[in-house]
Amino acid sequence: MTGGASGIGRAVSRELSRRGAHVVVADLDGAGAERTAKEFGCSAATLDVTHAEAVRELVERVAAERGRLDAVFNNAGIAVGGTADELTLDHWNRTIDVNLRGVVHGVHAAYPIMKRQGSGHIVNTASLAGLVPAPLMAPYTATKHAVVGLSLALRAEAAAYGVKVSVVCPGFTDTPLLDHANPGLPQTAVGSGARESATRTMGRLYSVDALADDILRGLARNRALIVAPASGRLAWRGARLSPAAAVRVASLAVRRLRGR
């Protein structure tokens, strides 16, 4: 479980552990991973998902120690917000490195093992922003669309080998990601106000515990796309029915935010 020290990763790790799974909580925040692992009876690892070799070594070690690899959760990610004209290439590159390449590294390490053993489930965390127009965070939106595409393409290939692939697309969820937008990068008004904007948009943010239940229920049913909460599924369906209308709604939201 990458990004397992907090937020969605922490909640899913707790639920998996409660159900008897042996979970390895991996996170760039090694101390946070240790705390989470100790609380839930898991193992911990410090991991930077942008380092392909480190990801490969961890995945191969876990598979060797446990004798198999049942599931890999490529969940680590960062939030980056701002208008397209104010975001720098550093914003873009860091988002691509973590949100997209981090998933690629996890897939590249896990898929050959699962293919050989004829089983396993790869779970990639994207976002509702990977399914609908999500302005004021173009790098984040671009990478999440890419993760959705990667996951669905791999699912089509992997089915013949007994390997499952699912992609998780949460709407606004109450995670620390909203409090740490643009980490280590130039701050923007959108980034610094991410939680406030999300709360104003949704009224009440979805809980990570409820999302963890949704995720594990979706995996049990081998869902290709796990979209939650219900408001997120509604937005997704609306965007599929009328992409142009979805863009118009997103444009109105941008104008309202700029008016404030």
Q: Is the pLDDT assigned to residue 192 strictly greater than 80?
A: no
Q: Does 177 fall in a domain?
A: yes
Q: Rounded distance, CA 83 to CA 174, Å?
A: 23
Report the DSSP pairing between strands 225-228 and 164-170. parallel
Q: What separation in angstroms does the CA of 221 have from each of 18, 40, 89, 164?
A: 19, 25, 40, 11
Q: Does 230 fall in a domain?
A: yes
Catalytic residue among 111, 140, 161, 206: 140
Q: Does 119 fall in a domain?
A: yes
Q: Rounded distance, CA 141 to CA 176, Å?
A: 18
Q: What is the pTM of this model?
A: 0.94
Whether 140 is a known active-site residue: answer: yes
Cα end-to-end span (Å), the chain: 39
Place 200 in a pLDDT band, splitting at 50, 70 and 90: low
Cβ 232 vs Cβ 128: under 8 Å: yes
Q: Rounded distance, CA 192 to CA 99, Å?
A: 19
Q: Is the pLDDT assigned to residue 98 strictly greater than 80?
A: yes
CA atoms within 13 A on the CB side of 134: 30
Helices first, then strands: H and E counts in the chain: 11, 6
Q: Is the pLDDT assigned to residue 218 strictly greater than 90?
A: yes
Q: How many domains does the chain have?
A: 1
Domain extent at residue 26: 7-259
- Where does residue 78 fall: left (phi above 0), alpha (psi -120 to 50 degrees), or beta otherwise? beta
Q: Does 2 fall in a domain?
A: no
DSSP category for residue 101: I
What average pLDDT does this structure show over 4-11? Answer: 97
Q: Does 1 fall in a domain?
A: no
Residue with tokens 């009328």: 242
pLDDT digits (tens, 9 = 90+) for 99-153: 999 999 999 999 999 999 999 999 999 999 999 999 999 999 999 999 999 999 9
Q: Which residues pair with 74 in a beta bridge?
A: 124
Give me the CATH number covering residue 46. 3.40.50.720
